[in-house]
Chain A
Amino acid sequence: MAIAGKRRYTGGLVDVAAGQISREIFVSDEIYAEELERVFTRAWLFVGHESQIPKPGDYFVSGMGEESVILCRDREDRVHVFLNSCRHRGMKVCRYDEGNTPVFTCPYHGWSYATDGKLVGVPYFREAYHSKLDRSQFGLVEVAQLEIYKGTVWATWDPSAPSFLEYLGEFRRYLDLALDAWDGREGGTEVLGGVQKWLIPCNWKFPAENFSGDSYHNISHRSVDLVGIGPSGSGRRDMRERLIGRRLQICFPDRGHQTGAYVLPNEEPTPPAYQHSPVVSEYFRRCEEQRRERLGAWGRVTGAPGELFPNTALHPRQPRSIAVWHPRGAHRTEVWRWYLVDADAPPEVKDFLRQYYIRYSGPAGLTEQDDMENWNYAHAASRGTIARRHPYSYEQGLGFEVENYEWEGLRIPGTVMDVTDSKSSEHNLRNFYRRWAQFMDANSWDELATWRRRP
């Protein structure tokens, strides 16, 4: 889909080479309107999880960008994502969050749609329309492409976007860290009941960059580290990996996805965790063992927070979750967070994790609470005329990225920054904004799918 016209966003606002990014891209209402069009109508977005709609007629109302969409399963068991807006006068055809239904009926004038999106009910079709309305032209607006990947449902409005797997590229291996069972079996995760939804007063890119790999902000979580909520009773997480392995930041410049990861040494087992509960601790010990057997050297890789461009955050471990940063105007974001567990884990393990997840993440989570405070007031203090003149600094580690990174016989896909000794870098953050700027600049997917042009 080609997009052109006069623009508020200009290339100089994101200077990745110099590590400087203008505050305008966070606080300008005009740039926000442009990114809704150029980023959110063209990228692949996370919509939900198949386990939320197991039966025909099941639906879950989700969002893509600012827009409400319905994720549903039709009578033939096919999964769809529709714009939640009547074709006649725009009213939401579903104002419930979830349920099961044979039809979505608009309460305004009564147009009614089947779960496959077809317009099946038009009041006074014979009388008022003289049976002339072509109902086949007025089904619910459906996404251009939909992909179910290991239970997760993704969609894009852009028919010219590459397939989801091509959009992922090699980042797929890191997404798998969140979606595969802990013992390395493919898929094998489900979402816990209840999606947390809350509003935060900041631009959506603050949380997106944070999850891209802001390894510098640990200091802001000092209070939770002091009181200790980790699965073994101290700190925030059980992360003894960091004492024996390499701590990496990994990104894919042509795709815009990025993540943290830990790589453990060869021959070294994953350190014990979850030691508050013998059952849980034993479950993970056994999973880790099987994971090494099943995945070989790749089993040494442990996930850390990441961001799938543009607005899906991954927490592959501790606490395992997927978050979406729904834009709600330049100055507000609605966060939706789904929590994942191994589907066949014993109930005691699921329950232990559920309790840990909600004391860590979400608006009541002892960790995430402080993030929201930072994003809120960083945004607020960047809106002023003077403030906008001073770009943010993203210079950590500029020029120290490594291609074909390898450690103890394991090659790591992606462009890698080893931060074991340097403690931190803004490598992944630059990558996020590099891709964001490409989306803002490019007029078509031909320009964005740069990997296709390689010899």
Chain B
Amino acid sequence: MADQREAMAQLFLERDVENFLYHEAELLDERRYEEWLDLLADDVRYWMPMRRNVKLGELEREFTREGQDVNWFDEGKDTLERRVQQILTGVHWAEEPLSRICHMISNVQLLAVTPSVLEPADVTVKSRFLIYRNRVETETDILVGKREDGLRRVDGHWKISRRKVVLDQSVLLSKNLTFFF
């Protein structure tokens, strides 16, 4: 019985986390940025390394390092809030007029749960993203990659405590990164 209870809890947790990620994507795509910020823990780390082409056997050099190297993003909530504020000024020309953005989130996998699936307080979840951005007339970007998120249970709700974004590009093919992953 205990095994079955745990299996059910695992299933429930997986759906719960998936729903959370879909809800988050919904807020971003619907441009409900302030509600999106509320999903982030105050101490959130938002990191997107750059990538290098390196030889097999030297793959430890593939990614730029969090907190040490230049990255695409390596920041906390303060800067993320300023990004939102900037979009909402209405004079941030790189996002004015606003882009049309669609986040496709898939391949959701729970990598770790602590202390237990029965009482999950922190989970590590990996997923794939495909972000479509279309702006002004014909300008279109498609960005594909992986995310690894830390989610924390706070007052009965999930908060994102860290996000690692791995974009499957080395030279960035988009002129800028004015949106959220």
Contact = CB atoms under 8 A, between A and B. Distances in A.
A143 B9 CA distance: 65
B89 interface: yes
B134 interface: no
B93 A223 contact: yes
Contact of B170 (A97, A192, A355): A97
A127 B94 CA distance: 61
B127 interface: no
Contacts of B75: 355, 358-359
B54 interface: yes
Given A194-B64, A366-B83, A372-B175, A223 B89 contact: yes
B20 interface: no
A118 B79 CA distance: 50
Nearest to A377: B136
B70 A358 contact: yes
B86 A363 contact: no
Interface string B57-71: 010010011011111
User: Quick one: which of B50, B136, B176 has the most chain A CB within 10 A?
Assistant: B176
Interface in A215-242: 220, 222-224, 226-229
A193 B65 contact: yes
B175 A376 contact: yes
A358 B74 contact: yes
A351 B66 CA distance: 11
Contacts of B176: 198, 363-364, 368-369, 372-373
Contacts of A98: 52, 54, 61
B171 to A, nearest CB: 4
A193 B64 contact: yes
A144 interface: no
B64 to A, nearest CB: 4
Interface string B87-104: 001011110000000000
Nearest to A220: B93
Contacts of B19: none
Interface string B167-181: 000111111111000
Given A98-B52, A227-B85, A369-B176, A363 B72 contact: yes
A200 interface: yes
Contacts of B65: 193
B130 to A, nearest CB: 19
Contact of A370 (B53, B67, B92, B177): B92
B136 A364 contact: no
A354 B74 CA distance: 9
Interface residues on A, range: 35 or more
A201 B141 CA distance: 12
Given A193-B70, A334-B171, A372-B176, A227 B64 contact: no
B73 interface: yes
Nearest to A333: B175
B157 interface: no
A364 B86 CA distance: 13
Interface string A352-382: 0011011100111010111011101100000
Interface string A90-105: 0000011111010000
A366 B82 contact: yes
A273 B54 CA distance: 39
B44 to A, nearest CB: 15
A174 B138 CA distance: 41
Contacts of B52: 96-98
Contacts of A402: none
Residue in A193, A194, A226 whose Cβ sees the most chain B Cβ within 10 Å = A194
Interface string B141-171: 0000000000000000000000000000011
Contacts of B171: 197-199, 334
14 contacts: A193-B68, A194-B64, A197-B50, A223-B86, A223-B91, A224-B86, A226-B86, A227-B89, A229-B79, A354-B68, A355-B74, A358-B70, A370-B94, A373-B175
Enumerate the 5 nearest inter-chain pairs by beta-carbon distance, A residue then B residue, closest first: A194-B70, A198-B172, A193-B69, A223-B92, A194-B64
Given A99-B58, A223-B91, A366-B86, 7 more contacts: A227-B82, A227-B86, A229-B82, A339-B70, A355-B75, A370-B93, A373-B94
Interface of A: 95-99, 101, 192-201, 220, 222-224, 226-229, 334, 339, 351, 354-355, 357-359, 362-364, 366, 368-370, 372-374, 376-377
Interface of B: 48, 50, 52-55, 58, 61, 64-65, 67-75, 79, 82-83, 85-86, 89, 91-94, 136, 139, 170-178
